[in-house]
């Protein structure tokens, strides 16, 4: 079974631009979560999508948004980029999104490294 894939793997943008990152989950997984990883803040939850609906959102400004398509693929968008948005963005997929399901697990993709200049 193919794992979680993320594209692109690397991105360089300048302040003020916007960016779209893509995530393809493991086949059959309907939940996709996004995380931001930085040296200072560590791994922080951005949001989670299930069946094309955002069910949960972390504490990030509205510049960070996402969506999920009917095939469970997900995109996240960051508008008006700031220097502090430079990070590794990780996508994780699971069957149900955990939430008390002891049989479920999140599997992570390799990440997209975004550099904002």
Site for another protein, rule CB under 8 A: 4, 6, 31-33, 35, 42-43, 45, 47-50, 55-56, 58, 90, 92, 94, 97-100, 102-103, 105-111, 113
The Cα–Cα gap between 74 and 52 comes to 9
The Cα–Cα gap between 75 and 34 comes to 9
φ/ψ of residue 62, rounded to 5? -65, -10
Task: Tell the smallest beta-carbon distance from residue 87 to another protein (Å).
Answer: 13
Q: Whose Cβ is closer to another protein: residue 15's or residue 55's? A: 55
C-beta of residue 104 within 8 angstroms of C-beta of residue 97: yes
Q: Whose Cβ is closer to another protein: residue 4's or residue 87's? A: 4
Task: Tell the smallest beta-carbon distance from residue 110 to another protein (Å).
Answer: 4
Q: Whose Cβ is closer to another protein: residue 17's or residue 104's? A: 104
Q: In what order do the strands lie in the sheet with 19-24?
A: 5-7, 19-24, 74-78, 64-68
């Amino acid at each position: 079974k193919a794992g979680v894939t993320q594209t692109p793997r690397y991105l360089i943008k300048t302040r003020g631009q916007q960016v779209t990152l893509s995530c393809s989950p493991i086949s059959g997984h309907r939940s996709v979560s996004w995380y931001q990883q930085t040296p200072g803040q560590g791994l922080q939850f951005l949001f989670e999508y299930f069946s094309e609906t955002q069910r949960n959102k972390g504490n990030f400004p509205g510049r960070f948004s996402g969506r999920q398509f009917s095939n469970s693929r997900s995109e996240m968008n960051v508008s008006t980029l700031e220097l502090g948005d430079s990070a590794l963005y990780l996508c994780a997929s699971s069957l149900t999104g955990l939430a008390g399901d002891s049989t479920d697990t999140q599997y992570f993709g390799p990440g997209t490294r975004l550099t904002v200049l």
